[in-house]
Amino acid sequence: MMTSPPPKVRLATLPTPLERLDRLSAAWGGPAIWVKRDDLTGFGLSGNKVRKLEYHLAAAQAAGADTLITTGAAQSNHCRATALAAARVGFRTLLVLRTPDGRAPARLEGNHLLDRLAGAEVRFVTPEEYAARDQALAAIADELTADGRTPWVIPEGASDALGMWGFVAAMSELHAQVDEIGPISAVWHAASSGGTTAGLGWAADRLELDIPVTGSSIGDSVPDLRRRIERIWAEAVVTYGGSWPVPHMELIDYHVGRGYGLTTEEELEIQAEATQLTGLIFDPTYTGKAIVGLRREIGAGRYGRDDTVVFWHSGGGFAVFSHDFGTVLD
């Protein structure tokens, strides 16, 4: 049984298209590859992040908030989407961004540039400080409250029981589109803060869908990802009721490479090849890592010509401009 979703602010253009990638499928010699075009949600090129923010912004409005506080890496798609959505709706934004040394990057580029263009206030922290990010966001909320403002805290990636609803709805949307393509071997997507995977898995269980979900980590270990997802599900069971979902998903961490936001020349070559075969942009941090993982798994024989894979394109193309493709494209 599916609980009725909470209210949301409508920002995204939905449903996003489901398209077949014929040239990529032929070149990689494995399954029929389809793409769920969440790069086309239509709001500031915010990709899939806007799905989760629609629910958080509605809750912030209901609470009378005037300032959104959230956190992520300096090139966070989520933080950029939050800043742009806040500008649209009329909130202030305060972002806590992680950098290697806790200082502002030397150049304004990619998502960080867009954060600033949207008017966000930005504070920088080290990786060590970022480990206590939830406590840091709470402290900032207390600081703003003492100054007479009304903050609304959005966790990293909007990945909590509220933000999860964006992908419960997204999975329902996909289910309505898949009749034309037959059985699906996997919904392949980039997994990071856990909200996307949690929502897809929750919906697959509640709607009794025979659609396997595969989250390809872009930086963290499977145990870390699983803990994040289970925290979201635990919160959702308490908040919305029902039983613990039966997992309809698989998590893998074989393709994290050098880690979050870091790429190798081989990874960039695969991403460039995918763009040249599809005309789509794959951001090296998220969708790029995920498409690399899919390419390698096809090469290893995981999926064959009788399979169908849906690649969830979560957007985030701006991060391409913060990576050096020079040696790959020379």
Q: Which residues are catalytic?
A: 76
Coil vs helix vs strand at 68: strand
Rounded to an integer, what distance in angstroms lies between the CA atom of residue 230 and that of residue 315? 25
Strand partners, 98: 73, 125
Q: Which one, of 26, 73, 74, 82, lies nearest residue 52 by Cα?
A: 82
Q: Which one, of 307, 302, 282, 301, lies nearest residue 292 by Cα?
A: 282
- 230-250: buried (b, 16+ CB within 10 Å) or exposed (e) per residue? eebbeebeeebeeeebebbbe
Map 282-326 to HEC letters.
Answer: CCCCCHHHHHHHHHHHHHCCCCCCCCEEEEEECCCHHHHHHCCCH
Question: Contact 149/221 with Cβ under 8 angstroms?
Answer: no
